[in-house]
A = this chain, B = another copy of it.
């Protein structure tokens, strides 16, 4: 029984909660059941299809210390059937109180018979230069500030 997400925000919340819990079934529940779904990891690997994406996240959950991601959607575009979120992810590892890294992410959701589902998750490490700001997250606030 797949949870039905009535908005792309609900799907996104479920996605990052699943990451925080290392819950592969919950994570895969967010993805569309489509062999063309695409996951681009911060390592620069491009994974497609339900089976390979599940395998890659299982490896990530297995190989690493417990970690969680705080996601902040900076801007989104929505049409009837597609929604794009431009997100900044802050990675926390183990019990470290300070952020471990930040990722710039594009998430694409599609609305179908079973609600909103993830089609594309594309995550990039944010540049070190950007980390120098005293309050990094705020540098990305509201889509009004620019970085260059």
Main secondary structure on A side of the interface with B: mixed
Chain A interface residue number, banded: 35 or more
Number of copies: 2
A86-B120 contact given A36-B75, A127-B45, CB 8 Å threshold = yes
**Is B130 a contact partner of A46 (Cβ separation < 8 A)?**
yes
Q: Does A64 contact B (CB under 8 A)?
A: no
Instruction: Tell me, rounded to whole Å, the shortest Cβ–Cβ distance linking A99 to chain B.
Output: 15
Q: How far is the CA of A13 from the CA of B85 in the complex (A)?
A: 24
Q: Does A129 contact B (CB under 8 A)?
A: yes
Instruction: Tell me, rounded to whole Å, the shortest Cβ–Cβ distance linking A44 to chain B.
Output: 4
The 7 closest A-B CB pairs, nearest first, are A44-B127, A52-B146, A79-B81, A82-B82, A79-B82, A36-B143, A106-B122
Task: Write 7 A-B pairs (CB below 8 A) sorted by A numbering.
Answer: A44-B127, A45-B148, A55-B148, A56-B148, A77-B82, A84-B84, A122-B124
Interface residues of A (CB under 8 A from B): 35-36, 38, 40, 43-49, 51-52, 55-56, 59, 75, 77, 79-82, 84, 86, 88, 104, 106, 108, 110, 119-120, 122, 124-130, 140, 143-148
Inter-chain pairs besides A44-B104, A49-B143, A55-B148, 5 sampled, C-beta below 8 Å? A44-B128, A45-B147, A46-B130, A46-B140, A84-B120
